[in-house]
A and B are shown apart, each in its own frame.
Chain A
Amino acid sequence: MTAAWLEAGDPLVIAERWSAEGRKVALATVIDTWGSAPRPRGSHLVIDGNGNFEGSVSGGCVESEVIAQALDVIQSGTPQLLEFGVSNETAWRAGLSCGGRISVFVQDLASRDAASESHAG
């Protein structure tokens, strides 16, 4: 049984459950932040092939964009690095109203074998 503190909407626990159910799953991770950013580096958002999601990479400012990109990543299997800044600097897509910038890495969770990497170096 998963402990209660791990159970409460934890993105990685949900990613594991969705994968076990045979769903396609993408993992989005905040990998860098500058200035005021709503979620710290390492924060996760998980997305399934139907656009269901759990977790967050911002305060809700850029999730729609990340989910849309995640569906492409699930289709193609190719990871994407997304950058978001202040809304008016990148008017063509979602931005952060708080004034910060974030980088979000989106990867497909089902397509790669990383066992050989665990002792890399």
Chain B
Amino acid sequence: MTSGIVEAVNAARAERRPVATLTWLDTGVMGLIAPDEIPGHRLEIELREAFRSGKSKAVTQDGREAFLNIYLPAPRLIVIGAVHITQALAVLAPVCGFALSVIDPRSGFATAERFAGVDLVVEWPDDAFTSRPLDPFTAVAAVSHDPGIDDPALIAALEAGCFYVGALGSRRSHERRLERLQAAGLSAEMLGRIRAPIGLDIAASTPQEIAVSILAQIIAALRRPGGDNASRARVQPGGRGDACLVEG
């Protein structure tokens, strides 16, 4: 049954394995393609490009039209600090499709009651990262407000090339943070990648509003990797409808 394909796609996504489906438009027959099947595949070039870019596309093989749908692993969000803002992020992040983990060695903050149903790791960041390795598909938001917890996580996130690295704190506390991290040997380029004060400036006040501003900044980093200054017009040349965000 084709519904078996849907189950296989869901299983792959749950295990963070990239996978593709190929659907023949004349019959509706659907097949599953894993990355290890690409070498020697008749659609090898198209498959390589699609898995690299994550963009699904129509393809033609022997005059037959098919649709190649790519399912890449969901971006991850690792939050350092099981604080009030994090409780709001625990609600919002899954809604936006982020796989969330919360890390805090302070067992008083990191309780199952405060974070029901959340992947909660009551360990120091460096220990937690051995079981949840950082990668470029991961965003790290350090909001514990404790340099002893936040700093090691920020260093690890910058070294791993995480697509987003943000840190809570005032401009003054960020200046002190930059001094500490510079003394720890981080380059100016790396330090420049820390988003601080964290979050888009929407004049957020409550922990929940700050969570929205953080998540919005993470989404911008994911969808607009060129940087904060890239305008929508540049992203979508000739774009018209304000509600229509997708390139043609």
Contacts and interface: CB of A to CB of B under 8 A. Distances in A.
A112 B42 CA distance: 23
Interface stretch (B24-32, B148-156, B172-180): B24-32
A28 to B, nearest CB: 12
Interface string A33-44: 111111111100
B74 interface: yes
Nearest to B54: A42
Interface stretch (B134-142, B191-199, B238-246): B238-246
A25 interface: yes
A31 B100 contact: no
B175 to A, nearest CB: 35
A76 B28 CA distance: 12
A86 to B, nearest CB: 11
Contact of A36 (B24, B37, B239): B239
A118 B32 contact: yes
B42 to A, nearest CB: 4
A59 B241 CA distance: 12
Contacts of A78: 28
B100 A4 contact: yes
Contact of B14 (A6, A38, A40, A120): A6
A12 B10 CA distance: 7
Contact of B74 (A5, A41, A79): A5
A34 B248 CA distance: 4
Interface residues of B, number: 54
B29 A114 contact: yes
A119 B37 contact: yes
Contact of B67 (A4, A105, A109): A105
Given A33-B246, A79-B28, A25 B95 contact: no
Contacts of B22: 117, 120
B25 A36 contact: no
Contacts of A107: 2, 23, 28, 30
A29 B69 contact: yes
B94 A5 contact: yes
28 contacts: A2-B10, A3-B99, A4-B94, A8-B97, A15-B6, A16-B3, A19-B3, A25-B3, A29-B67, A31-B25, A31-B67, A33-B248, A35-B240, A36-B236, A36-B239, A38-B243, A38-B245, A40-B56, A41-B57, A41-B69, A81-B25, A99-B241, A105-B23, A107-B2, A111-B28, A114-B2, A114-B30, A117-B31
The 4 closest A-B pairs by CB, nearest first: A117-B31, A42-B56, A98-B241, A79-B28
Interface of B: 1-7, 9-10, 13-14, 22-25, 27-33, 37, 41-43, 55-58, 61, 67, 69-70, 74, 93-95, 97-100, 117-118, 236, 239-241, 243-248
